[in-house]
Amino acid sequence: MSVLIVGSTALDSIKTPTRENPRLLGGSASHAAVAASFFSPVKLIGVVGQDFPKKYIQLYQRHKIDLSGLQILPGKTFHWSGEYELNMNNRRTLATELGVFETFNPTLPKAHQQTQFVLLANIAPALQHHVLDQMRKPKFVVADTMDLWLNIAMKDLMKLLPRVDGFVLNDSEAAQLTKADNLFVALKKIHQLGPKYVIIKKGSHGSVLSGPKGVFICPAYPLHTVEDPTGAGDSFVGGMMGYLATAKGSVDANIRRAMVYGSVTASFCCEGFGLTATTRTKRADIEKRVKELEKLTKF
Ligand code: AMP
Question: Which uninterrupted H or E stretch holds 228?
Answer: none
Alpha carbon of residue 245 to chain centroid: 15
Question: Which uninterrupted H or E stretch holds 21?
Answer: strand 20-26
Substitution candidate for ligand 1 out of 12, 21, 28 with most atoms within 8 A of CB: 28
Per-residue pLDDT of the chain (299 residues; tens, 9 = 90+): 999 999 999 999 999 999 999 999 999 999 999 999 999 999 999 999 999 999 999 999 999 999 999 999 999 999 999 999 998 888 999 999 999 999 999 999 999 999 999 999 999 999 999 999 999 999 999 999 999 999 999 999 999 999 999 999 999 999 999 999 999 999 999 999 999 999 999 999 999 999 999 999 999 999 999 999 999 999 999 999 999 999 999 999 999 999 999 999 999 999 999 999 999 999 999 999 999 999 999 99
| Range of the structural domain that residue 122 is part of | 3-297
Residue 100 dihedral angles phi and psi, to the nearest 5°:
-65, -10
The structural domain count of the chain equals 1
Residues with a CB atom less than 6 Å from ligand 1: 8, 10, 12, 26-28, 80, 96, 122-123, 148, 230-234
* Minimal-distance CA residue to ligand 1 atom 16: 80
Distance of alpha carbon 223 from alpha carbon 292, whole angstroms:
12
Ligand 1 centroid, distance to 193 Cα (angstroms):
24
Cβ-contact 165, 197 below 8 angstroms: yes
Which CATH number is 259's domain given? 3.40.1190.20
Distance of alpha carbon 37 from alpha carbon 88, whole angstroms:
27
* Minimal-distance CA residue to ligand 1 atom 1: 231
